[in-house]
Amino acid sequence: MAIDTIDSVLCNGCGICVRNCPMDVIRMDKKNRKAYVKYPEDCMLCGVCLECPQKAIHLVKGYTRHVILGWG
């Protein structure tokens, strides 16, 4: 898994990471309106979650973002 933490102080609950995760790894806690990693084993290391406008998502140390290519 590439996601180390989602900072609950920085997360404003916008849901961008939840909507953009192609593997449905990140979910929204309905009680406190914060994102969290529900299925870490399904993370495909795409790095799309780094589009977080609050910069609340931190990747594991040493991970570098991969280039994402679409299918034709």
pLDDT at 61: 80
Reduced to 3 states (helix: H, G, I; strand: E, B; else coil), residue 5 is: strand
Helical H segments across 1-72, by residue range: 16-20
- Statement: the pTM of the whole predicted model exceeds 0.95: no
> Is pLDDT of 67 > 80?
no
pLDDT at 70: 63
The predicted-structure confidence for 7-66, as pLDDT tens digits, reads as follows 999 999 999 999 999 999 999 999 999 999 999 888 888 888 989 999 999 988 876 665
Is the separation of the CB atoms in 24 and 39 below 8 Å? yes
| Number of neighbours of residue 54 by Cβ within 10 angstroms | 16
pLDDT at 20: 93
